[in-house]
Amino acid sequence: MGNPQKSELGDKIAIVTGAASGIGWNVAMALARKGAKVVLSDLNEKDGRAIEAETGGLFVRADLSRRADCAGLVDEAMRRFGKVDILVNNAGFQHVSPIERFSEDMWNQMISVMLTAPFLLTRYVWPSMKAQGRGRIVNVASIHGLVASPCKPAYITAKHGLLGFTKAAALEGGAHGITVNAICPAYVRTPLVDNQIADQAKSLGIPAEDVISKVMLGPAAIKHLIEPGEVAEMVLYLCSDAARSVTGASWTIDLGWTSQ
Ligand SMILES: NC(=O)c1ccc[n+]([C@@H]2O[C@H](COP(=O)([O-])OP(=O)(O)OC[C@H]3O[C@@H](n4cnc5c(N)ncnc54)[C@H](O)[C@@H]3O)[C@@H](O)[C@H]2O)c1
């Protein structure tokens, strides 16, 4: 896929949000293995510190629903390293509930973390990327940025919005060597999905294996959960020089989910 050689990211500073778990953890590890210095951010300080030690990066605790924390994260990266080359907007969470029971607080929280924070972080890293004439922004969206499922109104809205923002930012970044892309995975084997499997097994009254095979993989052509490392490989490609002409795109890793 033209992934970067170790030396290619050797001088790069990357911010990865939601890096204490799942996809973010795998992305941070993959970038670090290619030589990037990774600024890891998450709400979860304990696991964040563990990956800080593992990658030799820098952990910055941030609650990305707070504008001040978004600004503080980029400020800290700039203070320590003087620039940002790569931003991976990955932090997110799920809440499953029908519209009439969906709380306004939960709506606001989901939009803040999964739509407003990627906008704010992009805005804050933009001057550094523009000054260097090169930048890579990767937004971890979802198949739920492309299609809907029941009982996830805020998640689906945030992810659809994130794809719109990806295109808008790509248009503005083109003149400055900044590419902006989104990745749209179907179900990836992470703690976020483990929790959903348990919740759905309980609410539907069926075994966890049936939730995976009949509910989550029902519309999929390939019948397995995606591994988080597969998403990390795509992030590496999008951060590489080989992807210099790729921008404004939504990359599905969806087992054929959205092909029908
Ligand atoms: N797992 C999947 O099947 C799947 C599929 C499509 C898209 N995604 C997306 O991938 C991203 C990562 O998901 P994951 O499956 O690795 O989940 P995960 O729960 O394993 O990790 C998400 C991380 O985000 C952090 N986070 C949540 N709220 C935060 C906040 N307010 N401030 C800072 N950090 C916060 C959590 O602490 C956690 O460490 C999310 O945006 C999710 O929507 C996941």
pLDDT in the model for residue 200:
86
The CA 93 to ligand 1 mean position distance, Å, reads 5
The residue contributing the CA closest to ligand 1 atom 41 is 92
The CA 18 to ligand 1 mean position distance, Å, reads 6
Q: Map residue 35 onto helix, strand or coil.
A: coil
Element (H, E) at 59: strand 58-61
Which residues of the chain are under the pLDDT cut of 50? 1
pLDDT in the model for residue 146:
98
pLDDT in the model for residue 5:
61
The residue contributing the CA closest to ligand 1 atom 6 is 142
Choose one of 52, 112, 188, 196 to mutate for the ligand 1 pocket test, by most ligand atoms within 8 angstroms of C-beta.
Answer: 188
153/147 Cα distance (integer angstroms): 11
pLDDT in the model for residue 203:
85
The residue contributing the CA closest to ligand 1 atom 2 is 188
Contact of 208 with 201, CB cutoff 8 Å: yes
Q: Which residues are part of the catalytic machinery? A: 155
The model carries a pTM of 0.97
Tens-digit pLDDT profile for residues 156-185? 999 999 999 999 999 999 999 999 999 999
Q: Map residue 39 onto helix, strand or coil.
A: strand
pLDDT in the model for residue 199:
86
Element (H, E) at 38: strand 37-42
Structural domains in the chain plus CATH codes: 13-185+227-252 (3.40.50.720), 188-225 (no CATH)
The CA 90 to ligand 1 mean position distance, Å, reads 6
129: exposed, middle or buried (C-beta count within 10 Å: 0-12, 13-18, 19+)? buried
Element (H, E) at 145: none
pLDDT in the model for residue 2:
54
Query: What is the chain's length?
Result: 260
The CA 92 to ligand 1 mean position distance, Å, reads 4
| Ligand 1 nearest-atom number relative to CA 191 | 20
Contact of 117 with 109, CB cutoff 8 Å: no
Choose one of 23, 140, 195 to mutate for the ligand 1 pocket test, by most ligand atoms within 8 angstroms of C-beta.
Answer: 23
pLDDT in the model for residue 213:
94
For residue 182, report the phi and psi dihedrals to the nearest 5 degrees: -125, 150
pLDDT in the model for residue 6:
56
